[in-house]
């Protein structure tokens, strides 16, 4: 993504797939390190109710970032997250 595109993302709500954290992108650098404001970890489980855990200000190292995209807040609000269930995401692991 070029600098102009990154600049357009500043202060937008985004979604980061870690175990799903989302909220406001406050800053970034040339190595793709992200600073998130009002970050929330959304824990989606196979059998239990989805849980949102507030994290506050959160920094993600650029080496751990693969993709950044904008979150459609209206669509996100329409989802009944208590009814969403899924298998845990597999770890990336080392590639040989």
Q: Whole-structure pTM over 0.75, yes or no?
A: no
Domain boundaries, the chain: 3-66
Per-residue model confidence as pLDDT tens for the chain (96 residues): 444 455 555 655 555 555 445 567 788 888 888 888 888 888 888 888 888 888 888 888 888 887 777 778 788 889 898 888 888 776 655 555
Question: CATH for 3-66?
Answer: 2.30.30.100
- What is the DSSP code string of the chain? --HHHHHHHTTSEEEETTTTEEEEEEEE-TT--EEEEEEEEEE--SSSPPEEEEEEEEEE-GGG-----B--HHHHHHS-GGG---PPPPP-----
**pLDDT for 18:** 52
Encode pLDDT of 4-25 as tens digits.
Answer: 455 555 655 555 555 445 567 7
């Amino acid at each position: 993504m070029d600098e102009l595109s990154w600049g357009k993302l500043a202060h937008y709500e985004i979604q980061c797939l870690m175990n799903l954290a989302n909220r406001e992108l406050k800053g970034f650098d040339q190595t793709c390190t992200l600073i998130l404001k009002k970050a929330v970890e959304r824990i989606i489980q196979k059998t239990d109710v989805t849980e949102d855990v507030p994290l506050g200000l959160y920094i993600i190292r650029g080496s751990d970032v693969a993709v950044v995209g904008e979150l459609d807040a209206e669509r996100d609000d329409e989802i009944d997250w208590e009814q969403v269930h899924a298998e845990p995401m597999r770890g990336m692991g080392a590639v040989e």
